[in-house]
Structure 1
Amino acid sequence: MDPVESPDLARLHDDLQAEYSQLVDIVNGFDQRLLTIKGWGVTLSLAGLGLGFQQNHFGLFLVAAASGVSFWLLEAFTKMHQIHYYPRMRDIEFIAYELFAVRMQSGPASSPLIDWGWETAGPRIRRGDSKGDPNVPEPWPKRRLGRSIQPWLFAHVMFPHLVAIVMGTVLFVLGLSGVFGPI
């Protein structure tokens, strides 16, 4: 029996597709949580800054800064949990390519390639050298040399929380130094 026609291989293909679909749903669910966290963080930090001025109490500026730190860390930890699903997505893409790739005139074609497509998209969009063949996925690296993933340093995670932290801290220090008058 041809391995391509093997019932076990067909079942594996279906199982991989089902698992990949579940992973995509999980990652999308994290995106919704991350937006909620960011929304609450911005709302509470801005409310603390606004109330500090309205109530003429500079201690609320410190509350706004602390809120910014809390939501920044919460968003970073949530992002780290989301990132933990990416290696398995790449594993499935690589396995699917190795077992089920179809040879076309233009080169191999395989599906799914969502994670690998993201990996190779940046250089392709900027018309630079690609990190690899967009149609031939590479396995997730066993170890990323010299680089670890630090989600709290991602620009889209730290902003606008960092702005609230800086503003709250600066305004608190100015309040302590008497710039806003006695409180």
Structure 2
Amino acid sequence: MDDPTRLELLQAEYFKLQDHVETFDERALQIKTWSVTVSLAGVVAAYGSDSISLSDRSVILWVAAASAASFWLIEFLWKCFQWSFLPRIEAIETEMRRISPAGTLAPLQIRAYWHGTFKGPRAKTAPDPATTLTPPHHAHGEIASSLRRGKFFTPPVALPHLPIALLAAGLAVFG
């Protein structure tokens, strides 16, 4: 394959991957909206009427807490699917930096630039593009890896689910 064709294919793949990542972000916001709506509706319903018994109120609050926790898990799994695209994006960016003449602005650097400005220099390097023809691991591996790294509890994943679950559970126990 000649270099111009290869570069066109990499560019098309890069923008398609970026679209996928952005679509996952849109869906994650929708999951957060569902979580807030359903879970807080349960909290409000538990206190919406004086005719609700204390035991029924407790059940409603536990259901609201479980709802928030369920949406939290769904969002975490959704983010794991999203994160599975990132090594390939990083590989394409690495290849673009490698083939760009020294001292020039390399194209297709959305993720690298964002990390450089927001998070500082990346601690790990992107995988070698030549070895990323097949995925480095399965989605199960991304889920396990993300759990080990504590991503389940990072603010982009845990909010707003964790505070709502804790609020509902706290009200069920103490409330």
Relative to the length of structure 1, the TM-score reads 0.75
Q: How does 1:10-29 map to 2 (within 5 A)?
A: 10-29=4-23
Match for 1:54 among 38, 48, 51? 48
- Counterpart in 2 of 1:171? 171
Higher relative contact order (CA 8 A, sep 6+): 2
Q: Aligned runs of 1:24-173 on 2, under 5 Å?
A: 24-55=18-49, 56=52, 57-99=57-99, 101-103=100-102, 107-122=103-118, 130-131=121-122, 138-140=125-127, 149-173=149-173
Q: Which residue of 2 aligns with 1:179?
A: none
Runs of 4+ in structure 1 displaced over 4 angstroms? none
**Counting helix residues as a fraction of each chain, which structure ranks higher?**
2
Q: Describe the shift of the 1:123–1:9 C-alpha distance in structure 2 as closer, same or farther (beyond 3 A).
A: same
- What runs of 5+ residues in structure 2 fail to find an aligned partner? 129-135, 137-145
Unaligned runs of 5+ in 1: 1-6, 125-129, 133-137, 176-183
Aligned partners of 1:16, 1:32: CA distance in 2, in Å?
Answer: 24
How large is the RMSD of aligned CA atoms in angstroms? 2.5
Following TM superposition, by how much is the alpha carbon of 1:131 offset from its aligned partner in structure 2, in angstroms?
4.9
- Sequence identity, in percent? 32
Residue 97 (structure 1) shift:
1.9
Moved more, 160-169 or 12-21: 160-169
| CA 1:154–1:168: 2 relative to 1, 3 Å | same
Larger radius of gyration: 1
Q: Residue type of the partner of 1:116?
A: A
Flag the 1:96–1:30 CA change in 2: closer, same or farther, 3 A: same
TM-score, with structure 2 as normaliser: 0.78
Question: 1:123/1:169 Cα in 2 relative to 1: closer, same or farther (>3 Å)?
Answer: closer
- Aligned pair count? 153
SS in 1 for 2:72: helix
